[in-house]
Chain A
Amino acid sequence: MIRITKIEFENYRQYKSISVSFDDHSENDLHILKAKNGTGKTTFLNGILWCLYAHEHYLSDKDKALPIVNNALVQSSDEKTGLKVCVRITLSNGGETIAFERSQMFFVTVNPLTGVKSAAPGFSNLRVIVTPSGAQNTIVHEEDEIVQGFVKQYFDEAIYDYYFFDGENLKSYFSKGKSEKIKASIFNIAQVTLLSNATHHVRTMADERHRSASRLAKETGPDLIQEILLFEEKIKKLEDEIREIDAKRPALKKKYEDADASLQGYSPIRINTEKRASLERDLRALRDDYEAFKASKNEFIITYLTLLNFYPRAKATLDLIREKQDKGTLPPNIDKEQIQELLDSHAKSCPVCDGALDARAVTHLKMLLEQLDVSSATSNFLMLIKGSLEEVVETCKGFPEKYKEILQKEKYFTDEIAAKEKQADEISAFLAKYSDEKGEIDVKRLEADRQAALDDMNADDMRKALNESDIRRHKQELAHKQSEKTRREEKNAKKDLLSMQVSTLRRLTSYFELVQQAIMDEIKKDIQMQTWKRFDAMIWKKNTFGSLAINDSYELSVYNTTRNEMTGSLSATEYMALAYSFTLAIHDASGKNCPLVVDSPLGRVSDDNRANMAEELMKVSKKKQIIMLFTPDEYSDEVRALYDANAASIRNISLSDDENQVESVGE
């Protein structure tokens, strides 16, 4: 339950220094404040409104009212004195304490013509001081947005008169504009607005994600997993082959070396085997050199490809430079400084030809200088690059000779290698047919073994090189497929996730809408029922009113027993009863038990109804704080009989003798 525990005034109108506490030690949380007319009942209510909203809604004419600062204080203060006005309302909500404190400075002014003292207002400031339940520390909020949030949360200004009720001002209570504000405020307090906003947001997200998911077509296509497996198998197979080759190599090498050693050790053919061994050593060296030569040949080709491509333009530019140099126009031989000097000195005649330096001549000289500026920059650049161009041209000229050398060298390698291979082959052929009468070793067989082993090793080397090349190629393909698979999986996973998000968000939207509608229906039903129940209890007529209805716009209609609407025919008392009933029903339905502060609670109510209403309000006060401001006349005998014995507090607001301030609010 939310209740006001204390209201403190400092220099607020006639409430100069007053603190009123509202304890909850009684069965009925009903607090009575009595005051004659003009003492400050409505001001008490306005003080609360000023604190919360910076507006005194129950002021009869704001433009003709005194400033809110206590007038006696103004009159007794010197000009320019700063006077502080402050109203503080302390609430308890469960164990939490919330204080709303508004203060405003006023500065005493004196009208120079009339000498009348008044007070000019400074800015007012509202802060909210929160002490959480069980905590020692307080949190002070001063940011406007947060502070206004608190005000709206507890006492929404849109329906201020449903918290701070003035029994004398019920004119606009049930107006159309008010109904809309009531509805909006109830929905806000009951968090229907919260549900509505949440629904809107999740629906928006669902729509956005649905659009994103639609744009993301799910990728199908060749089974990448299968393709990846195939590549992996191929690579494995090739690697296995390479391993087999490597595994076989020692045996083949041994076979070759054993055969070769046996042949080399056999004296009748030693000359041949030694010759062949030497040829094979030479061939290995030649082949290595040839590989190195091929690398340098490639480098030569790349270099000359660029240079030869550039050669025609380089040659043309160089020729142009040389031509201009020969003609003496590069660099330019005009003395710029001399011309500039002529112009600066405003000379009358040319020092070279003695001709008159008229306006036309001066213009010509100026143009010449401009042209020289441009051409000088170009000339300098051309002179700068001349050396590089010459180098390019000379290098290109050397190309035919160098290329001839390259070709010759290449021919040397290929011829040498071919010649030595031929010699080695001839020796091998000889040994392959060799037969010997002594027969110490089978040369033919050994040569065949040696050659077979060599052929196998060469074939294996070639196969290994091919396999390695294939492996590299397959691995590239595999990486590409794996990357593609990952990309596809990520894309599909993203689409799946989006689809699931959309599905969940749509469910959220539906359920939030259901909950929202259920809450709205429940609230309206509750308000209708509670309003009718209290109205029926408050009114002495029991056979006139049949029912009451609230439409979706929260407009109230009262029907008689024959179901005719009679809202416009209600008496002042009945209207008041309806207003109370509706107010209390709104409080109940909002789910937030807020206090009710009522000025002139029974002013318009007659006799029997007064007792009914007083009793009904007392019942309400068992579960809700009600603070009532009575005039002595209103606090009639029947009311006194009920409240004196049962109210939590009954106090009188007393004005000082000089009528400048409320002297006390006490029993």
Chain B
Amino acid sequence: MPISEKIIAQINNIDTDEEFKELMLSILAEEDKGNFRFKDTYEKLVNDYLKKKEAK
């Protein structure tokens, strides 16, 4: 199920960088899949975010 507009609105209101907000939404999207191997996926998402941050 897509992430609700309320949650997206709340995340967009957070005072942080856009990449972090994208990270939050990506994690929620993965969580919604009921992914039992969440650790590997979340680690990849976090590492990708850190790489982007470093590249900046």
Contacts and interface: CB of A to CB of B under 8 A. Distances in A.
Interface in A136-155: 153
Given A194-B32, A501-B47, A591-B5, A201 B11 contact: no
A591 B4 contact: yes
Given A501-B47, A511-B16, A519-B6, A194 B39 contact: no
A508 B5 CA distance: 19
Contacts of A512: 24
Interface in A567-601: 591
A205 B24 contact: no
Interface in A181-205: 190-191, 194-195, 197-198, 201-202, 205
Contacts of A514: 10, 14
A133 B4 CA distance: 18
A191 B23 contact: no
Contacts of A505: 46
Nearest to A191: B4
Contacts, number: 66
A497 interface: yes
A507 interface: yes
Contact of B7 (A191, A202, A504): A191
A190 B10 CA distance: 13
Interface residues of B, number: 25
B18 interface: no
Contacts of B1: 153, 191
Contact of B46 (A194, A504, A518, A591): A504
Among the interface residues B7, B11, B20, B47, which one has the most CB atoms of the partner chain A within 10 A? B7
B6 A591 contact: yes
Given A501-B46, A515-B10, A205 B27 contact: no
A522 B6 contact: yes
Given A194-B28, A198-B27, A591-B4, A205 B43 contact: yes
A515 B7 contact: yes
A194 B14 contact: no
A195 B43 CA distance: 18
A201 B28 CA distance: 11
A197 B43 CA distance: 16
Contact of B38 (A194, A201, A501, A522): A201
A153 B2 CA distance: 11
Given A518-B10, A591-B4, A497 B42 contact: no
B11 A515 contact: yes
Interface string B1-37: 1011111001100101000100110011001100000
Contacts of B32: 191, 194
A194 B31 contact: yes
Q: Which DSSP category, helix, strand, loop or mixed, fits chain A's interface?
A: helix
A191 B2 CA distance: 10
B20 A201 contact: no
Among the interface residues A191, A202, A500, A512, which one has the most CB atoms of the partner chain B within 10 A? A191
Contact of A190 (B4, B43, B50): B4
A195 B28 contact: yes
Contacts of B42: 201-202, 205
Contacts of B47: 497, 501
A190 B39 CA distance: 24
Nearest to B3: A191
Nearest to B50: A500
Nearest to B10: A515
Nearest to B23: A508
Given A191-B4, A514-B14, A522-B6, A508 B50 contact: no
Interface in A476-519: 497, 500-501, 504-505, 507-508, 511-512, 514-515, 518-519
Contacts of B20: 507
A501 B51 CA distance: 11
Contacts of A518: 10
Nearest to B54: A500
A514 B14 CA distance: 9
B5 to A, nearest CB: 7
Contacts of A511: 11, 14, 16, 24
Nearest to A149: B34
A499 to B, nearest CB: 11
Contact of A504 (B6, B28, B38, B49): B49
A33 to B, nearest CB: 30
Interface string A211-252: 000000000000000000000000000000000000000000
Contacts of B28: 191, 194-195, 198
Interface in A242-282: none
Contacts of A522: 6
A501 B50 contact: yes
A505 B23 CA distance: 10
Given A497-B50, A505-B46, A514-B14, A201 B6 contact: no
A198 B27 CA distance: 7
Nearest to B21: A511
Contacts of B31: 194, 197-198, 201
A153 B1 CA distance: 8
Contacts of A504: 23, 46, 49-50
A514 to B, nearest CB: 7
Nearest to A591: B4
B36 to A, nearest CB: 11
17 contacts: A190-B6, A191-B28, A191-B32, A194-B28, A194-B32, A201-B42, A497-B50, A501-B43, A504-B46, A504-B50, A507-B16, A507-B20, A511-B14, A511-B16, A515-B14, A515-B24, A591-B5
Interface of B: 1, 3-7, 10-11, 14, 16, 20, 23-24, 27-28, 31-32, 38-39, 42-43, 46-47, 49-50
Given A191-B1, A205-B42, 18 more contacts: A153-B1, A190-B6, A191-B3, A195-B7, A198-B27, A198-B31, A202-B42, A497-B47, A501-B43, A504-B50, A505-B46, A507-B20, A508-B46, A514-B10, A515-B24, A519-B7, A591-B4, A591-B5
